[in-house]
């Protein structure tokens, strides 16, 4: 096993704080270092997950956070993979640890997001499919989420009430999380009464954009044991796979599928392949999980992830929800943190924040939202342009 240790986890609360991204990431980093009992001057490398909306420092996030914490000579890496940036940052940190280039690595992601839905930066970029979908189709993220929701309704019989129950479940968990932006339980009736954004999805079906930060201190197992962590949470797998050709299901930001006349599509869809690669590397399967943190950009998309990470068969996600399996207290809680429904998107931070939640759950320190006896968990999300993201952590 190529396990590495998570010896520190820290976050800056999510919200709309009106500041730049650097203070959020710096606060999260200091919290993670304090949690690890490691001084910043003893960190051998720092990996920053980039934000492309925050000007030049956002593109060099590793160096930006290193400077904010105080130059001390650490190796610096900056990565960008849209919503999968945090997982790629964890993967880069793990590679340096396993290669013997650093004993301990700090991973940081933070964002100061715009109000409203995320959109491409300005300028004319006709070779950019993300820019094209807005300019040619007017296909905002909520419009895409709604198309996927309609697809589930048509194929599997999912209902708007099922989607609302995802929000109800996640809001109940988020109400128990001091780092969440929205800490208030909601009812199905409140979801139904919220404004329609992109039919059939309403305002409370779709995650907000938020400010926030998250950080991890990662190390080799020997370093962890020598520094007061005899039984640390361990990262056992990091999956950052890309899609396989041809793709027969439309996936943001693309505006067309590949032709399947000459070659049949892969039997495993892209999102399912992300989790499959993580399970194969970890030597675990869905039946070994205690919990999962998945990328609930919309309530309907969370149901899709249940199937993609192997918790149930295709089209059975809503039944899993109705049976109470994925709520706190259920057999396998999903988004015990409250998910993006309770946090909102702070893009470079969110995959790191998912691992923070697994860390606290596997340590048994998650408070009122604790999953009893948690021993293994998976995170899953997806970045634009074919960026996979899944992390398996165990205790």
Dihedral sign of CA atoms 362, 359, 87, 7 in order:
negative
pLDDT for residue 304: 96
Query: Could you give all domains of the chain from N- to C-terminal order, each with its CATH number?
Result: 4-114+212-234 (3.40.47.10), 130-207+236-394 (3.40.47.10)
Beta-carbon contacts of 248 under 8 Å, excluding residues fewer than 6 positions away, are: 257, 258, 260, 265
**Mean pLDDT of the region 100-104:** 97
Beta strands in 68-143 (DSSP E): 75-79, 104-112
Report the predicted TM-score, pTM, of the whole model to 2 decimal places.
0.96
Q: 137 or 339: whose pLDDT is higher?
A: 339
Q: Which one, of 228, 232, 5, lies nearest residue 97 by Cα?
A: 5
pLDDT for residue 265: 87
**The pLDDT of residue 22 is above 80:** yes
Q: 46 or 117: whose pLDDT is higher?
A: 46
pLDDT for residue 21: 96
pLDDT for residue 116: 80
pLDDT > 70: percent of the chain: 100
Query: Counting every residue, how long is the chain?
Result: 395
pLDDT for residue 39: 97
Indicate the pLDDT class of residue 75, thresholds 50, 70 and 90: very high
Beta bridge partners of 201: 198
Question: What digits encode the pLDDT tens for the residues 342-365?
Answer: 999 999 999 999 999 999 999 999
Average pLDDT value for the chain: 95
pLDDT for residue 103: 97
pLDDT for residue 60: 94
CB-CB contact of 241 with 388 (8 Å): yes
**Mean pLDDT of the region 262-289:** 94
**The pLDDT of residue 392 is above 90:** yes
Decide: helix, strand or coil at residue 283.
coil
User: Tokens representing 382?
Assistant: 């997806």
pLDDT for residue 3: 96
Give the gyration radius of the chain's Cα atoms.
20
**The pLDDT of residue 283 is above 90:** yes
CB-CB contact of 355 with 9 (8 Å): yes
pLDDT for residue 248: 86
Beta bridge partners of 215: 10, 108
Indicate the pLDDT class of residue 271, thresholds 50, 70 and 90: very high
Element (H, E) at 196: strand 196-198
User: Tokens representing 300?
Assistant: 């309907």
CB-CB contact of 155 with 315 (8 Å): yes
pLDDT for residue 122: 76
Indicate the pLDDT class of residue 123, thresholds 50, 70 and 90: confident
**The pLDDT of residue 258 is above 90:** no
Dist CA 174 CA 343 (whole Å): 8
**The pLDDT of residue 28 is above 80:** yes
Q: How many CB atoms lie within 10 A of CB 52?
A: 15
**Mean pLDDT of the region 205-221:** 97
Q: 155 or 126: whose pLDDT is higher?
A: 155
**The pLDDT of residue 233 is above 90:** yes
Decide: helix, strand or coil at residue 59.
helix
User: Tokens representing 132?
Assistant: 């094209």
Q: Which one, of 288, 321, 285, 282, lies nearest residue 305 by Cα?
A: 321
**The pLDDT of residue 183 is above 80:** yes
Cα–Cα separations (whole angstroms), residue 178 to 338, 343, 357: 11, 10, 12
Indicate the pLDDT class of residue 221, thresholds 50, 70 and 90: very high
Q: How many CB atoms lie within 10 A of CB 144?
A: 21
**Mean pLDDT of the region 17-34:** 97
**The pLDDT of residue 69 is above 90:** yes
pLDDT for residue 12: 98
pLDDT for residue 200: 97
């Amino acid at each position: 096993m190529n396990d590495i240790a998570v010896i520190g986890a820290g976050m800056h609360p999510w919200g709309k704080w009106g500041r730049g991204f650097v203070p959020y990431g710096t606060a999260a980093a200091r919290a993670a270092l304090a949690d690890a009992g490691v001084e910043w001057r003893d960190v051998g490398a720092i990996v920053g997950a980039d934000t492309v909306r925050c000007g030049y420092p956002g593109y060099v996030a590793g160096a930006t956070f290193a400077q904010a914490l105080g130059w001390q000579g650490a190796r610096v890496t900056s990565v960008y993979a849209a919503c999968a940036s945090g997982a790629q940052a964890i993967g880069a940190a793990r590679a340096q640890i396993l290669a013997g280039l650093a004993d301990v690595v700090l991973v940081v992601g933070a964002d100061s997001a715009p109000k409203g839905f995320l959109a491409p930066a300005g300028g004319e970029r006709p070779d950019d499919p993300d820019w094209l979908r807005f300019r040619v189709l007017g296909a905002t993220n909520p419009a895409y989420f709604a198309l996927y929701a309609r697809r589930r309704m048509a194929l599997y019989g999912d209902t708007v009430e099922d989607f609302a129950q995802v929000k109800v479940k996640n809001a109940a968990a988020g109400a128990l999380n001091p780092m969440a932006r929205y800490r208030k339980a909601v009812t199905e009736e409140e979801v139904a009464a919220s404004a329609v954004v992109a039919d059939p999805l309403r305002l409370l079906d779709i995650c907000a954009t938020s400010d926030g930060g998250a950080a991890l201190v990662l190390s080799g197992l020997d370093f962890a044991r020598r520094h007061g962590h005899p039984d640390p949470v361990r990262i056992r797998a990091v999956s950052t796979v890309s899609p396989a050709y041809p793709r027969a299901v439309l996936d943001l930001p693309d505006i067309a599928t590949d032709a399947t006349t000459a070659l049949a599509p892969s039997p495993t869809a892209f999102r399912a392949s992300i989790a499959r690669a993580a399970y194969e590397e970890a030597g675990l399967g869905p039946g070994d999980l205690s919990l999962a943190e998945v990328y609930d950009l919309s309530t309907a998309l969370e149901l899709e992830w249940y199937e993609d990470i192997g918790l149930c068969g295709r089209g059975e996600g809503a039944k899993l929800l109705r049976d109470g399996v994925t709520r706190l207290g259920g057999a396998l809680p999903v988004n015990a943190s409250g998910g993006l429904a309770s946090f909102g998107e702070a893009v470079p931070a969110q995959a790191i924040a998912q691992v923070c939640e697994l860390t606290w759950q596997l340590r048994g320190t998650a408070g009122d939202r604790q999953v009893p006896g948690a021993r293994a968990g998976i995170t899953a999300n997806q970045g634009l342009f074919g960026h996979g993201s899944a992390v398996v952590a165990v205790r």
